[in-house]
Amino acid sequence: MMIARVLKPYVVMILLVILTGSCKVEPKPIAYGSDNCHFCRMTIVDRQHAAELVTDKGKVFKFDAVECMLNHVNNVNHQSFAIILVNGYTRPGELIDASGATYLISEGIPSPMGAFLTAFEDTAEAREAQLIHGGHLYAWQEIKNHFEN
């Protein structure tokens, strides 16, 4: 009984640290080759097409393709996201802000789930890829609208 009284404040403090630490609203690195896509359950291996969402409460969702992320967003339209990231095509493995990216749908650049959707951090790079591979360019809101239909 005495030991329980002595340990109780420490147990409460440890629980508080665990609870506050687990609710950080920040992205987590994608473990390519071992993390699975939240939407389609495939292993995330493509460093040029992956994506990640972080909810307002800090829950992280990882995706093997931008199209999987957009389909997930459309399925949970009541949920808000604090952070939305996509891989930049010209910087494999680097996550960038999805809202500032330019998107290219081109059959010349396959994506993991077959939507041929690729994100570019720089609009000039997206235009250059479009000249080489063809296709159509979209801004963030436009690509979201495209996947709602």
Closest CA to 93 of 53, 146, 50: 50
**The token pair that represents 91 in the structure block:** 């910087």
Instruction: Report pLDDT for 18.
Output: 52
- Considering the entire predicted model, what is its pTM? 0.83
**How far, in Å, CA of 40 to CA of 57, rounded?**
23
What rounded mean pLDDT belongs to the chain? Answer: 89
Query: Each residue of 69-89: pLDDT tens digit?
Result: 999 998 886 678 999 999 999
Mean pLDDT computed over 126-142: 97
**Residue 148 — pLDDT band, cuts 50, 70, 90?**
confident
What's the burial of 114, exposed, middle or buried (CB within 10 Å: 0-12/13-18/19+)?
exposed
109 vs 23, higher pLDDT: 109
- Nearest in space to 86 (alpha carbons), one of 105, 71, 72, 67: 67
Query: Pseudo-torsion of CA 97, 52, 57, 23, nearest 10°?
Result: -100
Q: How far is CA 19 from each of CA 25, 27, 62, rounded to the nearest angstrom?
A: 13, 17, 22
Alpha-carbon span 149 to 144, nearest angstrom = 9
Q: What is the mean pLDDT of residues 22-26?
A: 80
Specify the pLDDT at position 16: 47
Domain boundaries, the chain: 25-148
> Is 144 exposed, middle or buried (CB count within 10 Å of its CB: 0-12, 13-18, 19+)?
middle
